[in-house]
Structure formats: structure tokens, C-alpha cells
């Protein structure tokens, strides 16, 4: 158990809908990262937050957004969902951010029908 928690574990929804994925980092970790894992794209970095502020952006679609709250938990919002958004979404956390070890949560499996 990495200490990173993610909810929900599974999510099934329809195209056009909006969902929110939640992540709680390990105790003491200030950085949260979001990754998308799909069969054809592998593990792709989406976005990073450090102590409430956005620090780095990867290949995150404009339909996706994230935030980190004062209690350091983070939410990833996916809107106008398309079939191709079906994937595993992982959250990882680290103490600070500069090449620190990242610990991954168990992931949320999203299926868009």
C-alpha cells in the first residue's frame, strides 16, 4: 500500500458526461501528479500540483482540469467525455517535486460508453 488513495475505483459513464476523480496524497506529501494510462498511449503525464499551485502540464486536454485543495487532496475533472477517454487514471504524490520519488495510487478505471 503506497499510502495514496483514489476514489472511485471504477467509473462507468456515457459520452458527453462529466466526472470527477479524487486523490488523497500520502501524509506529508505536497506534490500531486495525475497520469493517464491507456493501451495505445502507455502512461502519460497530465498535470502536477504543488501545495495548491499548478506546477507542470503535460498532454492534458482542454476538457480536463484539476485542482489541489488546502488539505492537499486533488481532483481531476473530465468533461464532455468521449469514448477515447476510457483509461486508467493514476494519481501519484511526492514530498516536494524536484525528482522526488513518486508513489502511485491504485487508480480509477474509467469506462465511457
Partner 1 sequence: GENVEQHPSTLSVQEGDSAVIKCTYSDSASNYFPWYKQELGKGPQLIIDIRSNVGEKKDQRIAVTLNKTAKHFSLHITETQPEDSAVYFCAASMTTDSWGKLQFGAGTQVVVTP
Q: Is 31 in the site for partner 1 (CB under 8 A)?
A: yes
Q: Is 10 in the site for partner 1 (CB under 8 A)?
A: no
Q: Which of 11, 21, 29, 33 binds partner 1 (CB under 8 A)?
A: 33
Q: Computed from CA positions of residues 24, 8, 66, 103, in that sequence, does the dihedral angle turn out positive or negative?
A: positive
Residue that is written with C-alpha cell 495514496 in the block: 4
User: In angstroms, what is the minimal distance from the CB of 66 to partner 1?
Assistant: 14
SS3 state at 85: helix
Residues 48-67 interacting with partner 1 (rule: CB under 8 A): 48, 50, 55-56, 58
Gyration radius of the chain over CA positions = 13
Q: Which residues bind partner 1 (CB under 8 A)?
A: 2, 4, 31, 33, 35, 42-45, 48, 50, 55-56, 58, 90, 94, 96-107
Amino acid at each position: 500500500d503506497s499510502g495514496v488513495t483514489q476514489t472511485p475505483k471504477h467509473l462507468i459513464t456515457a459520452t458527453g458526461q462529466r466526472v470527477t476523480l479524487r486523490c488523497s496524497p500520502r501524509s506529508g506529501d505536497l506534490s500531486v501528479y495525475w497520469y493517464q494510462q491507456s493501451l495505445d498511449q502507455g502512461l502519460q503525464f497530465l498535470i502536477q500540483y504543488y501545495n495548491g499551485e499548478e506546477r507542470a502540464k503535460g498532454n492534458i486536454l482542454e476538457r480536463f482540469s484539476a485542482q489541489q485543495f488546502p488539505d492537499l487532496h486533488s481532483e481531476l475533472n473530465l468533461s464532455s467525455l468521449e469514448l477515447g477517454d476510457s483509461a486508467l487514471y493514476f494519481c501519484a504524490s511526492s514530498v516536494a517535486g524536484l525528482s522526488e520519488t513518486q508513489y502511485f495510487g491504485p487508480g480509477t478505471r474509467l469506462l465511457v460508453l
